[in-house]
Chains A and B, each alone.
Chain A
Amino acid sequence: MIYFDNAATTAPLEEALSFYLKAVKDFPGNSSSTHGLGRQADRELEKARASILESFGLAKTHSLIFNSGATEGNNLAIKGIAHFYKNRGKKLITSSVEHPSVTNAFKELEKEGFEVVYLPVTEEGKVDPLSLEKALDKDTILVSIMGVNNETGAVNDLSALADLTHKFPKAFFHSDLTQAIGKVKVPYSKLDLFTYSSHKIGGLRGDGALIYLNKIKFAPLSDGGGQEFGFRSGTVNVPAVMTQAYVVKEALKGYESNLKHVKEISEYLRQNLNIPSEIRFNSPIDASPYVLNFSLINKKASVVLEALSEKGIYVSSVSACNSKGEPISEVLTAMGKSEGDARNSIRLSFSKRNTLEEAKTFVLAFKEVLEGVINR
């Protein structure tokens, strides 16, 4: 089996799983309970929170809300800020290639009367800081731009984008870092808020966090027992967040060596899949090496995906979140690609556990599939 769909989800690290199992047994209490077991769980919860902020180097400046993952985090960051600070201004800015959990949150706010600017992207799929500069004004309260695009791996210059935003003191800068944590360099301290999911870095599914500047407040999405500073009610999954603290630390610590390893795989594939009559690469040269996206010129992506799947090779086409609806890539469309290219893209995405051997096997199998499958 070759699993090249790590941007969809990555299997939990062995160590993370055993860490989790132990934590489930050792800390059975509800962190909101006031008895001994509860207090014990609460201490572990706060330790995990502190450890993660420490890992990002944000112990003094930022706070953290544990949640179910980036979809929830993005919704709370965007809607929570828009609702809480609506008296400061009504303008929101995002890009046109965000994950649906960002885009659709903004669409909801648009219905409520907010003005939303969807910044275009360059043909490489990045947000041009100049376009942000033009869009920003005194009425802007939030800018949300992703770190790494989930379909193409295009990396945004978060540092420049955040600096531009901060020229307007009322505006906060949020970034969806789901595909970025531990994979590219991120100027964490410049971000007012960011979100991620644990399962993309070897943690558990259904677990993630929203990290934000201490002074920021949110209108909560749901009402309840007031956990997580009143911003995210619901019993906290203490063993899961303990595991999260572990995988975040590992991901950041292993950044350099993992990058080198994955880059080798990615570059090998880019060279050996370079068949101009069959393939057009969509991922820019300086994209995150964890993602390699290309369009099939003559073949139908769904057919190639199925043929690879039959061989035990798992890749993805368009975005997993969208493939049940109309299978066309909004991201590639926004980058100005043709309809044929936007309908027939293949995304390979890697983790540190993939090997160069797998990449070599992939190339052979892929070429075989291209030969065996009829043109679209």
Chain B
Amino acid sequence: MNYDSLMIHYGELSTKGENRKMFVRELNKNIRHALKGMNAVTTFDHDHTYVRFEGDPMPIISRLQKVSGIQRISLVYKSDRDIEKLKEDALSLIKLEEGKTFKVNTKRGDKTYPLQSLELSRVLGGQILKNTDLKVDVHNPDITLNVDVRKDAIYLSSHTYMGAGGYPLGMNGKVMMMLSGGIDSPVAAYMMLRRGIKIECIHFAAPPYTSDAVLDKLKDIVKKLNVYQESVKLNIVPFTKLQLAIYQYVAEPYCITIMRRMMYRIAERVARRHNCVGIASGESIGQVASQTLDSMVTINNVTSFPVIRPLAVTDKLDIIKLSQEIETYDISIRPYEDCCTIFKPKKPKTRPKISECEYYESLFDWKTLLDECVENVNAIMIKDGEEVDFENK
């Protein structure tokens, strides 16, 4: 015999009261999608989702670890409520494990079960002590045998894996993620997804000043994000004309600030169109001139939308580590220039003033160019690692 199921413990759902059913339903939909094509059957009840599998559970577990809303995943064996059968199974299972000491931990979810938790632990522990060389250690055991008594069966487990936590994807709406192609923004996207927030991506392209190869880079990044969200829309904004106009009408130290203000204006309009409830970016306070707190205030001033910056106070080294974990680092460091690097001013303002920005913005009628950007967005849909045909709206 061996483990034959996974028991999935829900994340922070216990606090969710009336909405719980909806959360559980959504999570199970996501779980089924994550396990598509695997030899696994999913069922769920009020408290847990069960996945019956055949063969090696590790590939299934590693997929589940990427589904937001899962707290823990336990490898379990579905045993019988009959005490003799249960004793037999507990003994066989513990023999599969390596170690010298053990502990039995019983949770009696079904209070009608005739034996109380401690009694059941004692009975099973006695059985193991009699038939093996294992010794009991309740403080620091090598093996912990968890016994979960439920109405339908009793579940035995001794291995638990951590899930991604957070909420089921989609429960918290959708935001427009600003994706540059650098190291930070994919990580920010991942942190949003892990929290259960759906994303759409927006990128500002300025050909020929930015290379066509950047697009491939972005697609490759989005493909990595598909692990967490089945299909992701990538909106490409044709930004060249607007950027050249900024370059022409704005004093050099203010170019980047004004450019970011324009980007946020466009992002908000595209976001509203696509039913997003906010904007997210990979900005990290202080990393570059446009990301000082003063800059953020001045840039943020153009939008009333919530702007979420998951990396605002994260160290660069931690960001890099995360980007390696989600496998976007090697893509991000491909050396193509984006529209921020190509127009990099020699001395950008680190404390730009809103009033100055407004002055420069009054020198030219930006509306036509802004409208053009929004109207000519080119949307690409990337699903399960593949670009799919998609009607541009």
* A interface list, Cβ under 8 A from B: 300, 302-307, 309-310, 324-325, 369, 373-374
Cα A374 to Cα B339 in complex, Å, equals: 14
Q: How far is the CB of A323 from chain B (nearest CB, A)?
A: 9
A367 CA to B211 CA in the complex, in Å?
20
Q: Are B212 and A303 in contact (CB under 8 A)?
A: no
Query: Main secondary structure on chain B at its contact with chain A?
Result: loop
B126, CB-defined interface residue at 8 Å? no
> How long is the Cα–Cα vector from A310 to B209 in the complex, in angstroms?
11
> With the chains together, A173 CA to B244 CA distance in Å?
54
Known A302-B337, A306-B212; judge A374-B207 contact (CB<8 A): no
Query: Which residue on chain B has the smallest CB distance to residue A327?
Result: B335
Q: Show 5 A/B contacts (Cβ-Cβ < 8 Å), sorted by A.
A: A306-B207, A309-B208, A310-B207, A325-B335, A374-B244
The answer on a CB contact under 8 Å between A303 and B247 is no
**Cα distance, A374 to B247, chains bound together (Å):** 9
- Using A374-B244, A374-B247 as known contacts, say yes or no to A306 and B208 having CB atoms under 8 A apart: yes
Are B244's CB and A302's CB within 8 A? no
Among B208, B335, B342, max chain A CB count under 10 A is at B208
Are B335 and A309 neighbours in the complex by a CB distance under 8 Å?
A: no
Q: Are B247 and A310 in contact (CB under 8 A)?
A: no
Q: B335–A306 contact, CB under 8 A?
A: no
Which residues of chain B have a CB within 8 Å of any CB of chain A? Answer: 207-212, 244, 247, 335, 337, 342
Cβ contact within 8 Å between B208 and A324? no
Residues of A within 8 A of B208 (CB): 303-307, 309-310, 369, 373
When distances are taken between beta carbons in the complex, the residues of chain A under 8 Å from B337 are: 302
Residues in A neighbouring B335, C-beta threshold 8 A: 324-325
Beyond A300-B342, A324-B335, 15 extra complex contacts between A and B, CB < 8 Å: A302-B211, A302-B337, A303-B208, A303-B342, A306-B210, A306-B211, A306-B212, A307-B207, A307-B208, A309-B208, A310-B207, A310-B212, A373-B209, A374-B244, A374-B247
Q: Which residues of A contact B212 (CB under 8 A)?
A: 306, 309-310
The smallest C-beta distance from A186 to any residue of chain B, in angstroms, reads 37
State A373–B342 Cα separation when bound (angstroms): 13
Distance of B248 from chain A, by nearest CB (Å): 9
Residues of chain B lying within 8 A (CB to CB) of residue A374: 244, 247
Question: Quick one: closest B residue to A308, CB to CB?
Answer: B208
Query: B211: nearest residue on chain A (CB-CB)?
Result: A306
Residue of B nearest to A305 (CB): B208
**Once the chains are docked, how many angstroms separate the CA of A325 from the CA of B333?**
11
The CA-CA distance from A232 to B212 in the complex, in Å, is 40
Closest 4 CB pairs of A and B: A307-B208, A306-B208, A303-B208, A303-B209
**Assembled-state Cα–Cα distance A304/B342 (Å):** 13
| Complexed CA–CA distance, A305 and B335 (Å) | 16
A197 vs chain B, min Cβ distance (A):
25
Question: With a CB–CB cut-off of 8 A, which chain B residues contact A310?
Answer: 207-208, 212
Q: Residue of A at shortest CB range from B337?
A: A302
Please indicate the chain B residues that have their CB under 8 angstroms from the CB of A303 in the complex.
208-209, 342
Residues of chain B within 8 A of A305, CB atoms compared: 208
Chain A minimum-CB-distance residue to B213: A306
Q: Chain B: which residue is nearest A304 at the CB level?
A: B208
Neighbouring A residues of B244 by C-beta, 8 Å = 374
Tell me the complex Cα distance, A324–B217, Å: 14
Give the docked Cα–Cα distance between A248 and B34 (Å): 55
Of all chain B residues, which has the CB nearest A324?
B335
Complex Cα spacing A300 to B244, Å: 15
Chain A residues with CB under 8 A of B210: 306
Which residue of A is nearest B248, CB measured?
Answer: A374
